[in-house]
């Protein structure tokens, strides 16, 4: 048995101080970190519990909503402000895990959950550049049903597993971070990284940084938004492909669209090509299909996941169609 020390952060400053110490890792609900410790993938000497830090969900003076990093996923999904103003976020969270896990998992931990690539999790038997930089990637040429089709690299084809983060990407959310030298705000779109040659560096966080809150800016399209997840089982399964989308139709044309895809890349994939293809168009099946095709044009599937390209295109077109029909 490996002994692990436990400490509880008393304040954000305390969390930052402890997070910067060698061998210390922050502990949210523990639903991902503790699993990975059992598998030997994560080996912290000390866990720093941050669930006592602010976890409220509040409206700011400018109408944005600020979600404390300690907010439980279940509480976010059920909150009246989230359900009414940002339904895609509520649905994305409810599409993930189980009620018990959502009640433990925190907003901060959800953003930082690690990939579900089976080769990453197989500490004893598989090579993984994310786990052991420079060791190789056994996913390439392996079982790739859940792996990336966009933005992958020869070093890593893993996907980001979070449903919540896909909705946050479409909503232009901002992550508030406290570090040893400063406090800063990182757009969600820049928070997670593509793998490149360093898949072990997954986010814009520096060692010792603490996520303090997630901010949802006011959005006129968020109230008419949706999240659709396609998976191998009806529940308790990660996305093969997911779509978070919001659309505003004005005077018979698409005035604004915000779209992100899940299950397809190392980070929540903001679908800016599809958004650009839609803006100004009269809603039609042909326009939805063309926008989806534009986004997936650069897809580079693995031998085992070519089906995801068509699946992503069709799911996106179907979500757009339903959202526009509601505003006809
Ligand atoms: C069986 C099962 C099924 C699941 N299915 C889904 C699914 O379908 N969809 C989905 O999206 N998710 C799913 N999940 C994943 C689940 O959503 C995550 O495990 C959860 O969101 C992680 O949150 P946590 O608070 O428990 O994080 P923890 O496990 O406590 O921490 C995760 C990481 O975040 C870091 N961390 C935590 N808080 C902070 C902070 N404030 N600042 C900086 N770093 C921090 C930790 O150090 C750690 O590295 C599933 C999990 C399980 C076990």
The reply to whether ligand 1 has any atom less than 6 angstroms from the CB of 245 is: no
276-309 per-position pLDDT tens digit = 999 999 999 999 999 999 999 999 999 999 999 9
Instruction: Output the CA 78–ligand 1 centroid distance in Å.
Output: 18
Tokens of 84: 């009414």
- The conformation of residue 328, written as its DSSP 8-state character, comes to -
211-252 per-position pLDDT tens digit = 999 999 999 999 999 999 999 998 889 999 999 999 999 999
Residues 6 or more apart from 219 whose CB is under 8 A from it?
Answer: 85, 86, 171, 172, 246, 258
Closest of 49, 68, 36 to residue 175, by C-alpha: 68
Give the number of the atom of ligand 1 that is nearest the alpha carbon of residue 69: 41
Best of 14, 23, 31 to mutate for ligand 1, by most ligand atoms within 8 A of CB? 31
C-alpha–C-alpha distance, residues 255 and 270, integer Å = 18
Instruction: Output the CA 35–ligand 1 centroid distance in Å.
Output: 10
DSSP H or E segment with residue 308: helix 307-325
**Mean local confidence (pLDDT), 78-99:** 98
Q: What is the layout of strands, in order, in the sheet containing 24-27?
A: 5-8, 46-49, 24-27
Cα distances from 109 to residues 62, 213, 245, 297, 310, in angstroms, run 27, 11, 23, 33, 31
95-146 per-position pLDDT tens digit = 999 999 999 999 999 999 999 999 999 999 999 999 999 999 999 999 999 9
Beta bridge partners of 265: none
Cα distances from 11 to residues 16, 178, 307, in angstroms, run 9, 11, 47
What pLDDT score does 328 carry?
78
52-71 per-position pLDDT tens digit = 999 999 999 999 999 999 99
User: Do the strands 183-187 and 225-230 form a parallel or antiparallel pair, or are they unpaired?
Assistant: unpaired
- Cα angle value 70/19/34 (rounded, 5°): 65
Q: Which residue has the tokens 């949802």?
A: 216
Q: Whose alpha carbon is nearest atom 28 of ligand 1?
A: 30
Neighbours of 38 (CB within 10 A): 9
Best of 6, 13, 101 to mutate for ligand 1, by most ligand atoms within 8 A of CB? 101
User: Do the strands 210-216 and 183-187 form a parallel or antiparallel pair, or are they unpaired?
Assistant: unpaired
Q: Which residue has the tokens 């996305």?
A: 239
What pLDDT score does 326 carry?
80
What pLDDT score does 63 carry?
97
C-alpha–C-alpha distance, residues 48 and 235, integer Å = 31
Instruction: Output the CA 27–ligand 1 centroid distance in Å.
Output: 9
- Secondary structure of residue 46 in the 3-state scheme: strand
The reply to whether ligand 1 has any atom less than 6 angstroms from the CB of 28 is: yes
Cβ–Cβ under 8 Å, residues 41 and 121: yes
Q: Whose alpha carbon is nearest atom 7 of ligand 1?
A: 96
Q: Whose alpha carbon is nearest atom 36 of ligand 1?
A: 109
C-alpha–C-alpha distance, residues 315 and 311, integer Å = 6
Query: Whole-number mean pLDDT of the chain?
Result: 97
Q: Which residue has the tokens 């030298």?
A: 181
Q: How confident is the model at residue 2 (pLDDT cuts 50, 70, 90)?
A: confident
The reply to whether ligand 1 has any atom less than 6 angstroms from the CB of 25 is: yes
Tokens of 115: 């990939």
The reply to whether ligand 1 has any atom less than 6 angstroms from the CB of 262 is: no
- Report how far Cα 137 is from the mean position of its chain's Cα atoms: 22
Instruction: Output the CA 203–ligand 1 centroid distance in Å.
Output: 15
Give the number of the atom of ligand 1 that is nearest the alpha carbon of residue 42: 49
The reply to whether ligand 1 has any atom less than 6 angstroms from the CB of 268 is: no
Helices 285-296 and 307-325: crossing angle, nearest 10°? Answer: 140
The reply to whether ligand 1 has any atom less than 6 angstroms from the CB of 33 is: yes
The reply to whether ligand 1 has any atom less than 6 angstroms from the CB of 105 is: yes
């Amino acid at each position: 048995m490996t002994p692990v020390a436990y400490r509880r952060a008393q304040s954000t400053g305390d969390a930052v101080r402890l997070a910067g110490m060698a061998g210390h890792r922050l502990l949210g609900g523990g639903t991902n970190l503790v699993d990975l410790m059992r598998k030997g993938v994560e080996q912290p000497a000390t866990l720093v519990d941050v669930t006592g830090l602010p976890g409220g969900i509040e409206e700011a003076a400018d109408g944005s909503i600020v979600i404390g990093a300690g907010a439980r996923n279940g509480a976010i999904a059920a909150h009246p402000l989230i359900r009414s103003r940002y339904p895609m976020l509520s649905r994305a969270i409810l599409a993930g895990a189980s009620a018990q896990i959502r009640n433990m998992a925190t907003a901060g931990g959800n953003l930082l959950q690690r990939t579900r690539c089976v080769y990453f999790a197989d500490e004893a038997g598989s090579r993984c550049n994310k786990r052991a930089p420079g060791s190789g990637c056994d996913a390439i040429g392996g079982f790739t049903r859940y792996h990336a089709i966009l933005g992958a690299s020869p070093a890593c084809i893993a996907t980001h597993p979070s449903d919540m983060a896909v909705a946050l990407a479409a909503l232009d959310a901002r992550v508030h971070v406290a570090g040893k030298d400063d406090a800063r705000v990182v757009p969600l779109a820049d928070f997670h990284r593509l793998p490149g040659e360093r898949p072990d560096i997954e986010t814009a966080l520096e060692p010792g940084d603490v996520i303090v809150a997630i901010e949802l800016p006011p959005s006129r399209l968020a109230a008419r938004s949706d999240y659709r997840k396609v998976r191998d089982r009806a529940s308790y399964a990660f996305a093969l492909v997911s779509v978070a989308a919001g659309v505003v139709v004005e005077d018979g044309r698409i005035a604004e669209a915000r779209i992100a895809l899940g299950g397809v890349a190392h980070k929540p994939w903001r679908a800016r090509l599809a958004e650009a293809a839609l803006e100004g168009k009269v809603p039609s099946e042909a326009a939805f299909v063309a926008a989806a095709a534009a986004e997936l044009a650069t897809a580079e599937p693995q031998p085992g996941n070519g089906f995801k390209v068509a699946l992503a295109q069709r799911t996106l077109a179907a979500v757009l169609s339903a959202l526009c029909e509601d505003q006809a």
